Amino acid sequence: MTGDSARRSARGTALPERRAGGGLYLFRVAGIRIHVDRSWILIFLLVLWSLSLGYLPHAEPDRSALAYWVAGLAATLLFFCSILAHELAHSLMALRAGIPIPAITLFLFGGVSHMSEEPRKPGAELRIAVAGPLMSFALAALFWLLHGAMRGIAVPLVATGLSYLAWVNTALGVFNLLPGLPLDGGRILRAVVWWRTGSLARATRLAADMGKGLALGLMLLGALQLFQGALLGGMWILFIGMFLRGMAQASYRNFMLRQMLGEMTLSDVMIRDVVTVDADLSVAALIDDYFLGHGFRGFPVVEDGATVGVVSLTDARRVPSSERKRTTVRDCMAPVEPARCIDADATLTEAMERMTGQNVERLLVLRGGALVGMITLSGLARVVEMRALLEEGEPRS
């Protein structure tokens, strides 16, 4: 499932709530960070439990408990790999189209590839969208062929696990082709409407509305199953519907956010007169003279005229009260690293993606390696809200 991260609404505006690439970091593939949302742990355990104690014993009785758990674990890991392959197919196609993909996050109901920008043409959008389902169908065919091979050499338990994987990849591909955001079918619909009308905004709105309609249908189906006594299945479908509805809304809000910010650069809105703190300052003095004195939640840290880190209120709070007079800012700051810096000529959209992708709330703005300002996530939120208010025009009497 390809979609953009969830957003927090504020008077019709939005900023990222789900951190792009948030969760547990696993590894990198083609420069793309792979993360697992903590909700994935739940789905992993549920799939493992259902396979090892339900599906496999029912399909292949009279095996040992250990055999069921080993086969179940192998099938669950391959299920995980199938979801990842689906998202990687989207991401690699996006990279071919020149769209940076900083991270992929796997979560409760699938995965999301975090695209740094919208596709520039309907054709690119279409190719990126279809890549995922095609990968799922290719995996389904592969697992089905392996299933037949395992049956042929009398390894029925392994063959049963492979047939499950063939079925689940087929279901994943078909489900993602439903025509509504954030599903791949919604992106295909958006590409077609964009090509026919020439309006990406109109296409995105239609695909998002279709996604909300599909989500509502799933929620009603889940509620109906609950009333009929199918508690587990009904709750599962209801949760999927609620999740898809939120993601459909987030997809449209994210698009509008990009349109709203346009090509504004950090130089237009960054904090220019940055208050810095010395690395040798005590945490107690930092709290009294800076956090309480200035009212800011974070400051760049300097040493011998060079910027060496960033310290936030959260960093200071981690130091026990009894240790704050003896602890220096250097001891609790976050050191300067590329993830916390950005060029002054970067756009606001790039800054937003950097902060959400790296899970940081403020960035040091550099020009030629020298500190010229700072941008914060809360500051971006204020810019978005002001732009939205200005676009609304004067209030009617």
- Whole-angstrom distance, CA of residue 63 vs CA of residue 52: 11
Q: What number of other Cβ atoms are within 10 A of residue 297's Cβ?
A: 14
CA R_g for the chain: 25
Nearest to 191 by CA among 258, 135, 121: 121
**Cβ-proximal residues to 20 (8 Å cutoff; 6+ apart), any chain:** 5, 102, 103, 105, 114, 353, 356, 357
What φ, ψ does residue 264 adopt, rounded to 5°? -60, 140
Q: Which of 17, 87, 323, 350 is catalytic?
A: 87
Residue 11, both tokens: 């008077």
Does the annotation mark 87 as catalytic? yes
Q: What's the chain's length in residues?
A: 397
Nearest to 5 by CA among 376, 374, 355, 365: 355
Residue 332, both tokens: 């609790």
Nearest to 296 by CA among 191, 240, 379: 379
- Whole-angstrom distance, CA of residue 211 vs CA of residue 167: 24
Nearest to 257 by CA among 117, 54, 61: 117
- Whole-angstrom distance, CA of residue 263 vs CA of residue 20: 21
Residue 386, both tokens: 């002001």
Q: Is residue 277 a contact partner of residue 286, using CB atoms and an 8 Å limit?
A: yes
CA distances (Å), 193 to each of 1, 36, 126, 204, in order?
A: 20, 33, 11, 9
- Whole-angstrom distance, CA of residue 34 vs CA of residue 89: 13
Q: Is residue 169 a contact partner of residue 140, using CB atoms and an 8 Å limit?
A: yes
What φ, ψ does residue 370 adopt, rounded to 5°? -95, 140
Nearest to 79 by CA among 28, 140, 141, 16: 140
- Whole-angstrom distance, CA of residue 240 vs CA of residue 20: 20
Active site residue ranges: 87
